[in-house]
Structure 1
Amino acid sequence: MRKVAIVVGHTKDSKGAYSKWLPCEFEYNIQAAEELKKINPSLYTVYTHDSYLGGYYAMEKRTADTINKDSFDLTLELHYNSASPLAHGTECCYWFASKKGKEYAQKISLEVSKHLDTTNRGTKALYNKNDRGYWFTYLMKAPAVIVEPFFGSNEFDALKFQDPKKYAHVLNEIISTL
Structure 2
Amino acid sequence: MITKKIYPLAGHSNTDPGAIANGYREADLTKELRNIIVNELKKRNYLKFQIDDDKDGLSTVLKKINPGKKDILLDIHFNSASPTATGTEVFLSNYAGDTSKNFAKELVDGTSKIIGITNRGVKPETLSARKRLAVLNKNGAAALIEVCFITNANDMAKYQANKIKLAAFIAELLIKYDTL
Classify the TM-score, shorter chain.
0.7 to 0.9
User: Match of 1:45?
Assistant: 50
User: Match of 1:56?
Assistant: none
Aligned-partner Cα distance in 1 for 2:70–2:64: 12
User: Match of 2:26?
Assistant: 25
Aligned pairs (5 A) from 1:139-158: 140-158=138-156
User: Match of 1:172?
Assistant: 171
| Contact preservation (8 Å) 1:88, 1:157 | yes
State the 1:158 CA deviation: 0.7
Aligned-partner Cα distance in 2 for 1:92–1:72: 20
Query: RMSD of aligned C-alpha atoms?
Result: 2.6
| Contact preservation (8 Å) 1:11, 1:26 | yes
TM-score, structure 2 as length reference? 0.80
State the 1:39 CA deviation: 1.9
State the 1:121 CA deviation: 0.2
Aligned residues: 168
Aligned pairs (5 A) from 1:48-59: 48=53, 50-52=55-57, 59=58
User: Match of 1:87?
Assistant: 85
User: Match of 1:13?
Assistant: 15
% identity of equivalent residues: 23
Gaps of 5+ in 2: none
| Contact preservation (8 Å) 2:80, 2:151 | yes
Q: Which runs of 4+ in 1 moved over 6 A?
A: none
- Determine helix, strand or coil for the equivalent of 1:36: helix
State the 1:51 CA deviation: 4.7
Aligned-partner Cα distance in 1 for 2:67–2:80: 33
Gaps of 5+ in 1: 53-58
State the 1:64 CA deviation: 2.5
Aligned-partner Cα distance in 1 for 2:101–2:69: 19
